[in-house]
Amino acid sequence: MLLISWLSLFTWSSITISPLDALQALYQFDQDSIAQHIVRDLRLPRVLVALLVGACLAAAGVIMQGLTLNPLASPSVLGVNAGAALGMALVSTITPWFGLLGTTVAAMIGGGLAWSLVMLLGSGWRTGNEQGRLVLAGVAISALCAALTKALVIIEEDQASAVITWLAGSLTDARWQTFDAFWPVAVVGLLGASLLSPSLNLLQLGDDNARNLGVSIGCVKLIGSFLVLLLVGASLGAVGSISFVGLLVPHMAKLLIGQDHRRFLPIAILLGASLVALADTLSRAIIFPMETPAGAILALIGAPFFIYLVRKKTL
């Protein structure tokens, strides 16, 4: 993870940055070096945001899969991403609401509404039965939210470009203020996730066993859902819609570590962080000096791995 971050600090820049500059910017900052200024003011916050986004989305995926016992559960599949996008689009296009709420808060509310709707429609509060319904409900709500978002973009063309960049998920605009707004929420969410992990373990034994072992199931699901919203809302508010991390990284971590949430959650967080940082670095490389959205790169990395998982039937 550190290696990827360091690479990301100096590679593929319009102005040449040496690997040494990247390190010196951190330890012996030279006021006169433009390269070091770029590292400090642009690259460093960007990498940090990328790491955190990856960590948050991976943790959110772990929680969602743990709560629903559904291997497909993730922010993008169960409508949270699309709902958050709609919320974000609403506050940034419709004039009376413009600036009423920060994009992060709007994303959280939108995502929260979509997630509750999916859980209600797919009877997700009762675990173990009719797993397909939950995913169907997620896909349906996602499609609905996406359609509404598109309609908004068409109606309010002036504001549309920001929404479109956001939908593709890009770290281009990640600056120190993005990081400053993001990290407290992310840390709270990640800590909460690790505190929840023993209960997630017990939920995997089914509702009856979990309750029998003293888990207050309703309570865990409520707290878990809230954490998901914090983590996803904060990430989406910071960099836009990034899919695949929440779906895939938990499976990668399980493959590596096994099924104990207490142990694979930290690994998932590290993997997610590395993956998004890597994707962001690559996003600058593919059609240098232009940037490809990191979200697109993640889909490129994610899809083959997902096919591999499906073939292995380890879901």
Contact residues toward other proteins (CB under 8 A) are 128, 194-195, 197-198, 201-202, 204-206, 208-209, 211-216, 254, 258-260, 262
Least spacing, CB of residue 67 vs other proteins, in Å: 16
Q: Which lies closer to other proteins via its Cβ, residue 90 or residue 267?
A: 267
CA atoms within 13 A on the CB side of 1: 17
The per-residue b/e assignment along 7-42, b for 16 or more CB within 10 angstroms, e otherwise, is: bbbbbbbeeebeeebbebbeeeeeeebebbbbbbeb
**Separation CA 284–CA 115 (nearest Å):** 33
**Residue 294: which of 147, 174, 187 has the closest Cα?**
174
Least spacing, CB of residue 216 vs other proteins, in Å: 5
Least spacing, CB of residue 137 vs other proteins, in Å: 21
Least spacing, CB of residue 171 vs other proteins, in Å: 33
Least spacing, CB of residue 17 vs other proteins, in Å: 42
Q: Which lies closer to other proteins via its Cβ, residue 173 or residue 207?
A: 207
Q: Which lies closer to other proteins via its Cβ, residue 16 or residue 259?
A: 259
Q: Which lies closer to other proteins via its Cβ, residue 32 or residue 313?
A: 313
Q: Which lies closer to other proteins via its Cβ, residue 86 or residue 217?
A: 217
Q: Is the peptide bond before 304 cis (omega within 30 degrees of 0)?
A: no
Least spacing, CB of residue 75 vs other proteins, in Å: 23
Q: Alpha-carbon dihedral of residues 164, 166, 168, 174, nearest 10 degrees?
A: 140
**Separation CA 273–CA 51 (nearest Å):** 4
Q: Which lies closer to other proteins via its Cβ, residue 123 or residue 209?
A: 209
Least spacing, CB of residue 101 vs other proteins, in Å: 36
Least spacing, CB of residue 63 vs other proteins, in Å: 16
Length of the chain in terms of residues written = 315
Q: Which lies closer to other proteins via its Cβ, residue 147 or residue 315?
A: 315
Q: Which lies closer to other proteins via its Cβ, residue 119 or residue 202?
A: 202
